[in-house]
Amino acid sequence: MLIYLLTMKISMEIQSTLLVCFKSVINIAVN
């Protein structure tokens, strides 16, 4: 159960990091 929660937390952090990178790339491409 603990491993499951840890995996969820890590995947959420990865997704948010990817989202920030994605937005940055779009901003660079637009400008």
Q: Structurally, how many domains does the chain consist of? A: 1
pLDDT at 10: 98
**pLDDT band per the 50, 70, 90 thresholds, residue 12:** very high
pTM higher than 0.85, yes or no?
no
C-alpha 28/C-alpha 8 separation (Å) is 30
pLDDT at 1: 79
pLDDT at 23: 97
C-alpha 31/C-alpha 20 separation (Å) is 17
pLDDT in tens, 14-23: 999 999 999 9
**Structural domain that includes position 2:** 1-31
Residue 31 DSSP code: -
